[in-house]
Structure 1
Amino acid sequence: MNTPAVASTAAAAATQAKFIEVQGVQQTFRTAKGLFTALQGIDLTIGKGEFVALIGHSGCGKSTLLNLIAGLTTPTAGALLCANKEIKGPGPERAVVFQNHSLLPWLTCEGNIYLAVERVFGGRESRAQLKARTEAALALVGLSHAAHKRPGEISGGMKQRVGIARALSMEPQVLLMDEPFGALDALTRAKLQDELLEIVARTQSTVVMVTHDVDEAVLLSDKIVMMTNGPAATIGEVLDVPLPRPRNRVELAENPQYLHCRKAVIDFLYTRQGHVEKAA
């Protein structure tokens, strides 16, 4: 029989293991050609503080699943929970970072973040407190010096950092990222990946990220969710990434566990799911 302390620890672990729950989810869209089933039979559990990557070929429903967790769309069947509450729509506890930074071009970097902070905390905090939150978010991504610049005056990588800062400024429980570095060059992407690792370590955020990049998935994630080809895509395999943190990309380059995880994902995508182009 468990002692109270052991039982309490087990209960805490069970709670953590069920921070986000996707239960029997199906997503069907009505099109000009009839009903199209994008996702079916999706069951997934994400723990608090866990970094999960969703990976698969184009059209496998990665972004659809992310949008369901964000509450931007409603499942045709099944249910989604966050912290034991059903996800019925968008909420400040779930912040989204898109591939397109989606910054308002007429506002400064500071103004874009302040707008989000005001929406979430405006009824409870003073203007000075809201400004302090905005400045802290900019500092977190190393952009205090660009506070008064507009999006058109900064690089693509900096714009994406502002988008991340805006999401984090709302103090979300969950950070949802849809290929946030997909449009960036390789060097800028690597730099932002390293910065994201540091930010997540500091904030202890739960992260769900859509990616097409195998190396990105292995470098960043605690768990990689591999999707089968669509239509009617589902989860083909879930791979745990047992690499200790903090992670260094140079040190991991020849790490046997890193190489094993990378090979497992490549085998799934290009051996078992490798005929996507012919199917398309």
Structure 2
Amino acid sequence: MQKHKAFIDVQAVEMEFKTRKASFHALRDIHLQVERGEFITLIGHSGCGKSTLLNLMAGLLQASSGVLLCEEREIHAPGPERAVVFQNHSLLPWLSCFDNVYLGVESVFGAQESRSQLRARTEQALHLVGMAHALNKKPGEISGGMKQRVGIARALAMEPKVLLMDEPFGALDALTRAHLQDALLQIVARTQSTVVMVTHDVDEAVLLSDRIVMMSNGPAATIGEILKVNLPRPRERVALAEDPGYIAARKAVIDFLYTRHARTELAA
């Protein structure tokens, strides 16, 4: 019987940063399998290696040992099949929203598609995130939430197999963050994207995730627990507020982060 192969497979990964004076052991013995179309969140206290693990999946860092695979191919560098959305939108301020997205589209599809096809891809991505009205505006002319939508549009326009998101809503106010979380739920349902997302927000993790990966504290952080979120989709935040499954999942994450994990720290 053929063994099932995960879409993303992280096997025995260690990450150690070396400096002139010393070394820092960031991640220890990380094993994680992500299925195609799954939404995974990484959560934990600051310094637990969430962003480091995401950057390893993106190919922006190389593991000290172990291996990371995407579709059974080793991840050793960034690639168009893995798009990254950072907390900072990283838009070029002198380009319009359209041109910021077009730049990414052209880099991936420029050799195989006409200019009209590239423009159509760009417009479709901006429409998908609700930014079709701001095609010609520059980043300085739109709000922080709108900038982040454009950043997400740029990632989606490249049709990545994996969307990697590093606290994409962390710097936004609560209302804007809620609107973008709802928009992301709709976009992922439409595109069937595989998503791995770093967050500090327990409610965000439960609302969005199929599984929540809870990281232990660093140094030498590892995966403490993985919680499966058994809530049907589509999800609506108001209806979930009193849902027993939502409440139980939220309690389990809080218990790991602030109760059992805090006791571990005190014992150390």
Same fold by TM-score greater than 0.5: yes
Q: CA deviation at 1:14?
A: 3.0
Query: Relative to 1, partners in 2 of residues 1:74 and 1:256: Cα closer, same or farther, differing over 3 Å?
Result: same
Question: Normalised by the size of structure 2, how large is the TM-score?
Answer: 0.97
- Find 1:261's aligned residue among 225, 237, 249: 249
Between the aligned partners of 2:249 and 2:240, the Cα distance in structure 1 is 11
Aligned residues: 267
The equivalent residue for 1:20 is 8
The equivalent residue for 1:244 is 232
Matched, 1:162 2:150: yes
CA contact (8 A) 1:52 1:225 kept: yes
Matched, 1:107 2:134: no
25-34 or 112-121, which deviates more:
25-34
CA contact (8 A) 1:116 1:170 kept: yes
122-131 or 27-36, which deviates more:
27-36
Matched, 1:180 2:168: yes
The equivalent residue for 1:142 is 130
Tell me the amino acid that sits aligned with residue 14 of structure 1: H
Between the aligned partners of 1:59 and 1:22, the Cα distance in structure 2 is 20
CA contact (8 A) 1:57 1:276 kept: no
Q: CA deviation at 1:126?
A: 0.6
Q: Any unmatched runs of 5+ in structure 1?
A: 1-6
Q: CA deviation at 1:275?
A: 6.5
- Find 1:123's aligned residue among 106, 111, 122: 111
Matched, 1:89 2:77: yes
Between the aligned partners of 1:101 and 1:199, the Cα distance in structure 2 is 18
Between the aligned partners of 1:276 and 1:83, the Cα distance in structure 2 is 36
Tell me the amino acid that sits aligned with residue 149 of structure 2: R
Q: CA deviation at 1:35?
A: 1.1
CA RMSD for the aligned pairs?
1.6
The DSSP-based 3-state class of the residue aligned with 1:101 is coil
CA contact (8 A) 1:157 1:184 kept: yes
The equivalent residue for 1:192 is 180
Aligned-pair identity in percent equals: 72
The DSSP-based 3-state class of the residue aligned with 1:14 is coil
